[in-house]
Structures are given as C-alpha cells and as structure tokens.
C-alpha cells in the first residue's frame, strides 16, 4: 500500500469505527431497545449507517484537503451499469428464495405464514392481527417488490450512500491498485467487521448474534466483488449506493414466501444467499477473464 493511501485508510477506519462502535456501545449501555422494530433502534442503526460517509468527508476534505466528487466517484452520469445495479438486488433476492426452497425444512407459503411467525416476537398482538387481516388489491409480495424498486432509487439509495462513500468511495480509491479481487476481499472484510456491534444487538441474526458476526463477515466478503464491479463499470459510487439501497429494500422478499428454516439457512444473509453470491462471483470471474482476453487480443 502506498504511504499516502496507508495513512488515509488508517484515518478513515479509525474515525469510522470510533464513531459507529462508540455510538452503538453508548446506546447499549443506556439500555436502548434492541427490538429491530422499535423507533430508537431504527434511528440508531440509520445513524450508524452514515458514519462511513461522515468519516470519508472528514478525511478527504478536511484532513487531506482533496476533491470529493471526482476523487470518490460522486457523479450522476447514468449508464447501463446503473440499471444493473438497480435490478440486480431483485434478481439476487428471487434466486435466494429459489435456493432456500431446496432445503428440506423449507416450503413455499403463499399465505406468508413464515413471515408472520418471524414477526411474532417483534410486534404487539394487535399489530399482528392488523397485518394478518390487511386487505390489499394485489398480493403483498408484489407491492413489496414495487416499493422496494422505488426505494432503491430514492430514500434507500441515500441511506446506502451513507456507507458507500466510505466503502466504495475512499476505500475503493485507496485500494484499487491492489487489484479487483484483493481489494474486494479487504473491503468486504472491513465492511463485515464494522457490522459487529449491531449484529450483537440482534440485527439480521437475532437468534444467533455471535455466529451472526461471522456470517455477516462472510456475507460482506461474498457481496463485495459485486459492489466492486458495479463501482468500476458504472464509474460512480452513486450506482453502488443504489445497489446497496436495493439490497436493503428487497432483501426481505427472499424469505417473504418461505415457511420453515432459520436465519442461518434462508434469506440473503443465510446459506441460501451465500450460495447465490458464490454463483455470481463465479460469473464475475468468467466475465473478467473474458474481458481481459479481449483486451490482450
């Protein structure tokens, strides 16, 4: 790693982890709710998401006094990779649901009994009754898909930018000389470890918080090459933010129609999701090899 990049990455990581982990620790020490459906927890996790962006701005602009938009890829020039970034989360979620159905303990549930079971401990009996008796013109699954696609381009992309200016902004620019796969591994590892405090509080893996830390690290490492490819081909951290927003908005659809299994097996952050991500990584490897061969011929 080059000296300037080494210092920049070190400062970025120190500020990012210092801000986010301290905030999470204080929240836990004062007895903040760890119910993922509660408003205080929602506010804490949203704030947590923006710490990489805050750190990137501090390091890039105030400490190193360098340009932000051009250097960190903040541009809005749309190309086909933006469209891929927008639709890919839906493809991954649907593929993950399909893989989840291959597990012996998992079955398809159009009535969403599995989803209701998962919400049982998070919502009040009244809220559960309201959810079960809700009358909609079309199946909630399709409404969720439409809302997710809209959110991926709007509010969820903004929240995704809170992380991506750090991961696929300052880290991408500082580590890209290491090569596609090595850079993706390093960023994915950092990204996964960063989640540790909220995973311990029950985020993503409420029944397995300790195992969940290692599962999240694996998830981020497996997803990192996809983000790197989108960042590289789109030329923009905004496209990566749309991908991130889409994953957050549409990830739940991977388990919405499934009954059975558990959080370590089904869903994007379970073994079903890992299987899909491994397949996508193989596809990326083939794609990059073909692209390199075309360049050398």
- For position 232, what pLDDT does the model report? 97
Q: Give the per-residue pLDDT at 35.
A: 84
Buried b (16+ CB within 10 A) or exposed e, 216-252: bbbbbbbbbbbbbbbbbbbebbbbbbbbbbbbbbbbe
Q: How confident is the model at residue 128 (pLDDT cuts 50, 70, 90)?
A: low
Indicate the Cα dihedral angle 278, 5, 52, 16, nearest 10°.
110
Q: Are 101 and 107 in contact (CB under 8 A)?
A: yes
More confident: 291 or 123: 291
Which residue, among 260, 265, 270, has the nearest Cα to 109 in the 3D structure? 260
Question: Which 3 state secondary structure label does DSSP give 170?
Answer: helix
Query: Which of the four pLDDT bands, split at 50, 70 and 90, describes residue 2?
Result: low
pLDDT higher than threshold 60 for residue 1: no
For residue range 225-258, what is the model confidence (pLDDT) as tens digits? 999 999 999 999 999 999 999 999 999 999 999 9
Are 156 and 246 spatial neighbours (Cβ–Cβ below 8 Å)? Answer: yes
Six-digit token string for 92: 């991954």
- State the Cα angle at 129 between 125 and 133, rounded to 5°: 175
Of the ranges 29-38, 166-175, 198-207, which one carries the lowest mean pLDDT score?
Answer: 29-38
What pLDDT score was predicted for residue 131? 58
Confidence of residue 293 (pLDDT cuts 50, 70, 90): confident
pTM: 0.92
The better pLDDT of the pair 128, 90 is held by 90
pLDDT band at 6 (very low <50, low <70, confident <90, very high): confident
Question: What's the confidence (pLDDT) of residue 112?
Answer: 79
Per-residue pLDDT, 258: 94
pLDDT at 34: 86
């Amino acid at each position: 790693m080059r000296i300037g990049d080494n210092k920049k990455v070190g400062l970025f990581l120190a500020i990012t982890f210092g801000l986010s982990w301290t905030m999470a620790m204080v929240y836990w020490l004062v007895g903040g709710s760890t119910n993922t459906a509660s408003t205080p927890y929602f506010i804490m996790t949203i704030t947590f998401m923006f710490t990489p962006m805050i750190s990137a701005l501090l390091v890039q602009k105030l400490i190193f006094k360098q340009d932000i938009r051009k250097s960190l890829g903040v541009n809005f020039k749309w190309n086909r990779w933006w469209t891929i970034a927008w639709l890919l989360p839906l493809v991954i979620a649907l593929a993950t649901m399909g893989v989840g159905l291959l597990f012996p303990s998992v079955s398809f549930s159009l009535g969403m009994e599995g989803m209701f079971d998962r919400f049982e401990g998070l919502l009040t009996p009244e809220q559960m009754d309201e959810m079960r008796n809700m009358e909609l013109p079309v199946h909630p699954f399709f409404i969720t898909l439409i809302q997710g696609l809209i959110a991926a381009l709007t509010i969820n992309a903004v929240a995704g930018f809170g992380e991506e200016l750090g991961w696929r902004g300052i880290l991408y620019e500082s580590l890209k000389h290491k090569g596609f796969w090595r850079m993706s591994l390093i960023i994915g590892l950092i990204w996964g470890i960063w989640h540790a405090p909220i995973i311990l509080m029950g985020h993503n893996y409420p029944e397995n918080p300790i195992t969940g830390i290692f599962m999240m690290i694996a998830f981020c490492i497996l997803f990192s090459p996809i983000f790197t490819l989108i960042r590289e081909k789109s030329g923009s951290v905004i496209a990566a933010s749309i991908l991130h927003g889409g994953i957050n908005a549409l990830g739940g659809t991977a388990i919405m129609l499934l009954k059975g299994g558990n959080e370590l097996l089904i869903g994007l952050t379970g073994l079903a999701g890992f299987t899909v991500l491994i397949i996508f990584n193989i596809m990326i490897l083939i794609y990059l090899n073909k692209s390199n061969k075309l360049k050398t011929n």
